[in-house]
Structure 1
Amino acid sequence: MTPALTQTDFNFPGQLGVYKGKVREVYSLQDNLLVMIATDRLSAFDVIMPKGIPFKGQILNQIATRMMQQTSDIVPNWLLASPDPNVAVGFRCEPFKVEMVIRGYLAGHAAREYKAGKRSLCGVPLPEGLRENDRLPAPIITPATKAEQGDHDEDISREEIISRGIVSEADYKVLEEYTRALFQRGTELAAEKGLLLVDTKYEFGKTPDGKIVLIDEIHTPDSSRYFYEAGYEERQAQGEPQKQLSKEFVRQWLISHNFQGLEGQTLPEMPDDYIATVSERYIELYEQITGLTFERAETGDIHKRIEDNVLTFLQSFRAEH
């Protein structure tokens, strides 16, 4: 089986610390630099699966960096360079402790909440009579609090975010404005590829000089859900499931094996042949979302490849600055 990158342990020149998230590992360096490494770890229901998915980190990083480049004219972002298929380098920011989730359709978590009888999500009212995967009258922002390691993200309303002082009202207005602008651009980019951007999340941070910028991943199959536009209306009319591009297929596999991250449930082990199909699905996602042919990075010694590429970049960057 193709090797997967499930963890890293680098010590780059000028390294100040490292933060290990569910999927990404972020190295803090001198000169206000961050080196973000997208591993092949797979997280679902806020639980990390025991085995990695080959090429997943490369796919997420390459989609995210491409999408950041395609939106930098409307929203500033943290990205400086991508010196390796799994790596993004940028300037350090103080992250806001909320994820800006925006939904154009009633799908996933929102559909599950709606089915359970809720007609308000994060303080946003939802009309009666919606079916799963219906297009919403207008996109809605349904924020979530940023989970500390191991905890679940929680829905939260705009009013609560501001009243609890998690984000100031002035900053939150900017986050909302940027979120809507990015979702509109993402919707347009998806439409060019015959896709519907169903829902997604954005994360933002503030630079030392007070500028709000987009951070983390954007428009990837881990942070977003896409439907195929062809056949969408027919499938809705007939009450059929939508053909989609996201990691929802992994969640459905886990649900079918009696796991939703709830207390007392046992995490099922994914067999190698299923992991290989998940890897192929991620490659399909990459090609559909970007319109490019996926080029597999060298996996003989992934750690050495990353280290060499990052060191070369740092040497060049510091020579110039």
Structure 2
Amino acid sequence: MKHIYTGKTKDVYEREDGNYLLKFKDDVTGENGVFDPGANTVGLTMEGAGRAGLRLTKHFFEVLKEKEIPTHYIDADIEAATMTVQPAAVFGNGLEVICRYRAVGSFLRRYGLYAQEGQPLDAFVEVTLKDDERQDPPISEDALAMLDILSHEEYKELKGLTRKIANTVKDELAKKDIDLYDIKFEFGRGKDGQILLIDEISGGNMRAYKQGEYIEPLQLEKIMLEM
């Protein structure tokens, strides 16, 4: 296999058949040793986080597959902490799309003049550029179109898919009496130009709470997948 990319939480390899292999690592994003799904730096290493993230990702991607929601997922090998996916081209140098149900994290830091901590939000969709140097700045639909990153039509599709996927995850968590506060996704274009959900869906890219208490990524996987 050909090594393509070394990321914060996973490495990417190209397979001989043209598909890609994602190798999950035990690193999670955050700052000063505190986990934060919206951070653009590796904040800490949690033993077992890679496999835990992959188990949960596999669970959610297979739920989405049943609902015929387009993703890049093909299959996963939990023991090896790898996931096989179809190729997809990112938008520009990469976008992150956040769906927010509660005012926490960077939303609260930016809009704290008007928002109260934990205030309910109506599946608010926010797009940011993957740009570490500029602290992943938020970007509007018009700017995305003007900069030729995403057309208005693609933005509407992206926003609709984000809410559909986030609501699916929210419903799955609710089965275990867990509340989803926010979740971060990445998307790309498949070979036929179709917009696909890519990357992962794990505790490392969401904030989830149970009875008002934050659930760490490893604990979330245990609660969700316990028999």
Q: TM-score, normalised by structure 2?
A: 0.87
Residue number among 158, 172, 179 corresponding to 1:175 in the alignment: 158
In structure 1, what is the equivalent of residue 84 of structure 2?
Answer: 89
1:272 is matched with none
1:47-196 to 2 correspondences below 5 Å:
47-49=41-43, 52-72=45-65, 73-85=67-79, 86-96=81-91, 97-115=94-112, 117=113, 128=114, 130-136=115-121, 138-147=122-131, 152-196=135-179
Q: List runs of 5+ in structure 2 lacking aligned partners.
A: 31-38
Deviation at 1:46, TM superposition (A): 2.1
Name the aligned partner's letter for residue 89 of structure 2.
E
Max Rg structure: 1
- One-letter amino acid matched to 1:39: K
Distance 1:88 1:81 in 2: 6
Larger relative strand fraction: 2
The one-letter code sitting in structure 2 at the alignment partner of 1:87 is: T
CA contact (8 A) 1:105 1:199 kept: yes
* Match 1:227 to one of 187, 190, 209: 209
CA–CA separation in structure 2 for the residues paired with 1:35 and 1:24: 10
Residues 141, 152 of structure 2: 8 Å contact kept: no
Structure 1 residue 55 displacement after superposition = 0.3
> 1:74, 1:196 → 2: CA distance?
24
Identity %: 21
Number of positions where the alignment pairs a residue of Structure 1 with one of Structure 2: 215
Structure 1: which 5+ runs fail to align? 1-11, 118-127, 231-241, 247-281, 294-321
| 1:245 and 2:215 matched | yes
Aligned AA (1:168): S
Cα displacement string for residues 67-95 of structure 1 (whole angstroms, at most 9, x for unaligned residues): 11111224111111112431100111102
User: What TM-score results when the alignment is normalised by the length of structure 1?
Assistant: 0.63
Determine the structure 2 residue equivalent to 1:253.
none
Q: Which residue of 2 aligns with 1:235?
A: none
The aligned residue for residue 41 of structure 1 is 27
Q: CA RMSD, aligned part only?
A: 1.9
CA contact (8 A) 2:24 2:82 kept: yes
Verify the 8 A CA contact 2:21 2:83 in the aligned structure 1: yes
Secondary structure of 2:204's counterpart equals coil
Could you give the per-residue CA deviations for residues 119-167 of structure 1, whole angstroms, max 9, x where no partner exists? Answer: xxxxxxxxx4x4200112x22111111236x663211122211221111
Please say if residues 74 and 181 of structure 1, whose CA atoms lie closer than 8 Å, have aligned partners that are also in contact. no
